[in-house]
Chains A and B, each alone.
Chain A
Amino acid sequence: MVVVAQLVERWLVVPDVAGSSPVIHPMDVVSNAASSTDVEREAATTSRSAPDLPWQTVVWNDPVNLMSYVTHVFRSYFGYSKPEAERLMLQVHNDGRAIVATGPREEMERHTEAMHEYGLWATVDRIS
């Protein structure tokens, strides 16, 4: 650990071209984890979903973010209770994705942008 400072000199900036791979689409990562019925069930159980609020912010699983950090973000940004934040975090972890907010499009984009600032993988979806 203590000898690495010199070694990392350019590792962050210059991509390892040989080792790099194409960007993985979120759907590839979750594969079959979220079927359309799952999505419908999620949408139905999201209490704030309504016909006039047809958009949602979805957070996707990634292999990097710590579970405690994701929970922390859901609590501090959305103001969710600890149990609710943990439930959503586990849903992301286990199912590959979770709907963290539902509402008007602009608001969902604002949430998505905020998630990107936190380093979470988020997308905007129209509720189908």
Chain B
Amino acid sequence: MRIEPEITGVLIELTPMERRLLATLLAQYDELVHDQLDESDLSGDPALARLFPNAYPDDDEAAAEFRRYTRDGLVERKTANSGLISAALTGASDDGRLTVARDDAEHWLPALTDLRLVLAERLGIRRDDDPLPENELADVYQWLGELQWSLVEALD
């Protein structure tokens, strides 16, 4: 992975394996957000509950109304963000280099955040002092964090 600021945007260089990994995660993310959202209430999956937090923890009625008015738009924009990354990955040159415009890179950040939020839930990281397990998924989680951190650095 190599991330560098450029005049018009950010250069993102990923290995073929990294691109495949990211594409796989994004496809699952879309499935999670789209399909599972339709068929289950959020209480069944803490990760979904974290992607769509309760805006009114002390007021069920207001919470339901907020959900009703915001959910579709949030799903649409969240999947649009992830779709932007997927499209960029598909369009990467053979050497794995992508030049992403600043505005597009800004949309990468929330999508990477959401991936990390779901992975954290699957890894049992729910509080600041929860330890990171030693497994492959934790490696993926850390790699996503590194990617996001580098991207923020490049954009700031």
Contacts and interface: CB of A to CB of B under 8 A. Distances in A.
A123 B55 contact: yes
A65 B149 CA distance: 10
Given A61-B128, A63-B128, A121 B152 contact: no
Contacts of B117: 62, 64, 119
Interface residues of B, number: 65
A22 B42 CA distance: 11
Q: How large is the interface on A (under 10, 10 to 19, 20 to 34, 35 or more residues)?
A: 35 or more
A116 B32 CA distance: 16
B47 interface: yes
B43 A23 contact: yes
B31 to A, nearest CB: 5
Given A13-B31, A23-B46, A122-B55, A109 B130 contact: no
Interface of B: 15, 17, 20-21, 24-25, 28-29, 31-32, 36, 42-47, 49-57, 62, 66, 70, 73-74, 77-78, 81, 106, 109-110, 113-122, 124-128, 130, 136-137, 139-140, 143, 145, 148-149, 152-153, 155-156
